[in-house]
Amino acid sequence: MHPYLMGLRLAGRRVLVVGGGAVAARRVPAMLAAGAAIELVSPQVSAALEDLASARKIHWTRRPYQPGDCKAAWLVCACTDDRAVNQAVAQEAEAERIWYVRADDRQESAAWTPAQGAAGDIRIGVLTGDPRRSAAVRDALLKSAGSRTEVPQNKGTVAIVGGGPGDPGLITVRGRELLGQADVVVADRLAPRSLLDELAEDVEIVDAAKIPYGRAMTQEHINATLISRARQGKFVVRLKGGDPFLFGRGAEEVLACVQAGLPVIVVPGVTSAVGVPTAAGIPVTHRGITQDLHVVSAHVPPGDERSTVNWAALAASQGTLVLLMAVERIGPIAGTLIRNGRAPGTPVSVIADGTLPSQRTISSTLENVAGLVISEGIRPPAIVVVGEVVSVAARIAEITELTRGVTVTPGRQTG
């Protein structure tokens, strides 16, 4: 017979979980998010569950299941890899008239755990005979639920959303959800603009692109647009590239909005300073090579009175340098680093159009990179990585070529 579907309010209610392996590690966080008081019974547990127990977010009884453990529970989850133990737990729960889930045998469970997810205040749970099918249906419903809906509580609100380094698949789930609810979207040039095509036709899109050495919408005009549209009772999403608080002037926009008395939501994003090197196979830190990372805005060159960067200190450091907006000033930057102590042969990579299908990487050394950037016609947007971690990427590529292993490409894996 088909199960009767119901949502359980677990806040403050005791939930017994027997078993500390992979299944428990998946189920416990979701029940904690629902406010459940988790009693975990198992001789050993996974590292994630041990961490929750150490933080006193769950209570761990470090022993095997014993008869009587189910008493006073509202819900019981039998998650061990021993069928006999799971059956004993289920029998006790049944006798105590407590709802129970058996991870090893859904047909013997009094309750089933659906494939579930959330889109805003919408919770979706799907039950079928096949868990993979349930997950696929859930994902389709979540995508549909994430499309534009009326959200009265967000009216008159501004959301500052980090869109990630470029690939539209790298925006956060929360960011995409809010984008789908927008009445107005104010979009940067480096934001994942292909997502705008998914918006309803009546969504107003304001182009806030700032083209290097070209036309630009002033920051004051952007701030005024956010405020005026929100004061009209609209939900305004400011879609930015990368993370809004890393050289993104997001905090300036937040300040302008809160000073105008408007509620603001801030959604972090994957910063290009880390996401782009990763997409190119470059680890910005690596054990035994570097313990520090310096992210630098190089929109003005060394020696410019507007610069606040201590280039001499950066040159003396052995850490990784990730330089943003540096392509057109790479010659003066490289020269300054060399004069202040960085070895001329220090490996350098320049990644253009990071995470996009047009992504392109060139590798050189500090003394030669400026010439190579010119000869290869590298243009912004691009990320410059200086340091020995570039050699790690080269080693990964070398081994990959020799073994025909997995190669890292923007947002994809190919064999």
The one catalytic residue in 82, 139, 155, 210 is 210
Query: Tokens 């799971």, residue?
Result: 86
The encoded tokens of residue 97 equal 């008239």
Do the Cβ atoms of 17 and 38 come closer than 8 Å? yes
Residue 364 phi/psi, 5-degree rounding, is -155, -155
Strand order in the sheet with 293-297: 293-297, 320-324, 382-386, 347-352, 360-365
CA 248/CA 70 separation, integer angstroms: 53
Ramachandran category for residue 341: left, alpha or beta (phi over 0 → left; psi -120 to 50 → alpha): left
The one catalytic residue in 167, 183, 188, 243 is 188
Do the Cβ atoms of 74 and 13 come closer than 8 Å? yes
| Angle in degrees, CA 224, 225, 229, rounded to 5 | 115
Q: Is 69 a catalytic residue?
A: no
Query: Tokens 């690596």, residue?
Result: 286
Q: How far is CA 218 from CA 118, 151, 210, 215, 316, in A?
A: 37, 30, 8, 9, 37
CA 181/CA 155 separation, integer angstroms: 10
- Dihedral of CA atoms 43, 44, 49, 51 in degrees, nearest 10, equals 110
Q: Is 207 a catalytic residue?
A: no
Nearest to 75 by CA among 33, 106, 39, 128: 39
Q: How far is CA 320 from CA 2, 21, 349, 372, 388, in A?
A: 58, 38, 11, 20, 7
Determine the 3-state secondary structure of 266 from DSSP: strand
Nearest to 86 by CA among 51, 38, 42: 42
Query: Tokens 């990487």, residue?
Result: 361
CA 72/CA 19 separation, integer angstroms: 18
CA dihedral for 87, 92, 96, 99, sign (positive or negative): negative
Neighbour count for residue 140 (Cβ, 10 Å):
12
Do the Cβ atoms of 294 and 384 come closer than 8 Å? no
User: Which residues are known to be catalytic?
Assistant: 188, 210
